[in-house]
Amino acid sequence: MNLFMPKQAFFEKDTLAYPLGQKLHQTMTANNIPIKILGPGNRIGNYFGNTSFEKYIEAKKSLVVGVRKNLKLTTCKPSADWEFPLASSCPGGCQYCYLQTHLGKRPFVKVYVNIDEILNKIKTIADENVPQITSFEAASTSDPLASEHLTGSLAQTITFFGTLTHGRMRVVSKFNNIDSLLNLPHNQHTRFRFSLNTPKIIKELEYNTPQLPARIKAASQMAQAGYPLGFIIAPLFIYSDYQTDYRQLFETLAQTLEPIPADLTFELITHRFTKAAKNVILERFPDTPLELDETKRGRKYGKYGLVKYIYPKEEYQELRETISSLVSTFFPQATISYFT
């Protein structure tokens, strides 16, 4: 698939004082991308169409260049100790994505230019936790690989983590433009995971993302380059013939992944949704094939009493046993980091 190039770009005024901001401005200019410099408050306004779907699609085609002012990191269990942002959102249009509600009316692709400040914060936290190893997740609010060809921020961050004795990075992606990452001095301090699902789910719900073979090929290249490798299979869905489809997914992965690392990891996450997420998804995708019927789900209470609708206990247990068995059958040397 084609690399992301925005239809329009918005720059916070302060970004032009940073080398990356200047670089992105030059790139947009060279590609004849309309540019708007934002005024006080960095309000973008209504540039994204009329209907909810139009606004969503147009925002996904737009780039916002900003300065990350809040450098405070938050915890990121069970993925890592902390999470940090290189960007937010991505050009992919996965209908189930939790960022549908997390980003609300701001689904545009946003990248940050003050990377050095973010990395300095990471080093401070890692140093304070010595002699323990501290892990950091780079993809909680975005898929940073999707905009890497424009920013180079992920390569800079991988190189940075390669120098940290007590810091490790984790990043996950559905995208496959990994050529610029293959020869970096990563020092095996970055575990790169690829998000996979069945061809049915990719086709129906993961709009504007690479297909399964492209993701597996990219994973093989990263493993060949010496990166610790993992896969996130998420969300795991229960539907007619899901057991057959997921078995085929694992068969395909086992047959085409080369090499298969000894320390391969799997992170397994079942589908869940909130009432707010359902409302946003149905507003943007009224014909979505997602099953969002609360009466068919159990309930899980999160922070502040937030209700998440999860698969009922018996269905969840059957799904867990199915997927766990597939991991042990096709990748007996692998570790399941968590199953939620």
Q: Note whether residue 27 is domain-resident.
A: yes
CA dihedral 86, 87, 91, 96 (to 10 degrees): 100
Structural domain including 71 reads: 8-339
pLDDT score at 154? 98
pLDDT score at 25? 98
Q: Note whether residue 277 is domain-resident.
A: yes
Q: Note whether residue 177 is domain-resident.
A: yes
pLDDT tens sequence across 166-197: 999 999 999 999 999 999 999 999 999 999 99
223: helix, strand or coil: helix
pLDDT score at 340? 95
pLDDT score at 102? 74
- The CATH number of the domain holding residue 47 is 3.80.30.30
pLDDT score at 194? 98
> What is the tally of structural domains in the chain?
1
Q: Note whether residue 149 is domain-resident.
A: yes
Which residues 6+ apart lie within 8 Å of 295 measured at CB? none
Which residues 6+ apart lie within 8 Å of 141 measured at CB? 83, 85, 87, 88, 89, 99, 102, 103
pLDDT score at 312? 97
Segments in 141-268 forming alpha helices (H): 148-151, 153-162, 199-205, 212-224, 242-256
pLDDT tens string for the chain (340 positions)? 789 999 999 999 999 999 999 999 999 999 999 999 998 888 887 777 778 888 888 999 999 999 999 999 999 989 999 999 999 999 999 999 988 777 777 889 999 999 999 999 999 999 999 999 999 999 999 999 999 999 999 999 999 999 999 999 999 999 999 999 999 999 999 999 999 999 999 999 999 999 999 999 999 999 999 999 999 999 999 999 999 999 999 999 999 999 999 999 999 999 999 999 999 999 999 999 999 999 999 999 876 678 999 999 999 999 999 999 999 999 999 999 999 9
Tokens 């492209």 correspond to 214
Q: Note whether residue 23 is domain-resident.
A: yes
Residue 85: closest CA among 161, 1, 153, 21 = 153
Bridge pairing between strands 8-12 and 62-66: parallel
Q: What is the DSSP string of 87-142?
A: EEB-S-EETT-THHHHSTT--SEEEES-HHHHHHHHHHHHHHTTTS-EEEES-SSB
Q: Note whether residue 3 is domain-resident.
A: no
Q: Note whether residue 2 is domain-resident.
A: no
Q: Note whether residue 251 is domain-resident.
A: yes
pLDDT score at 173? 98
Helical pair 242-256 and 212-224, crossing angle rounded to 10 deg: 40
Q: Are 55 and 49 in contact (CB under 8 A)?
A: yes
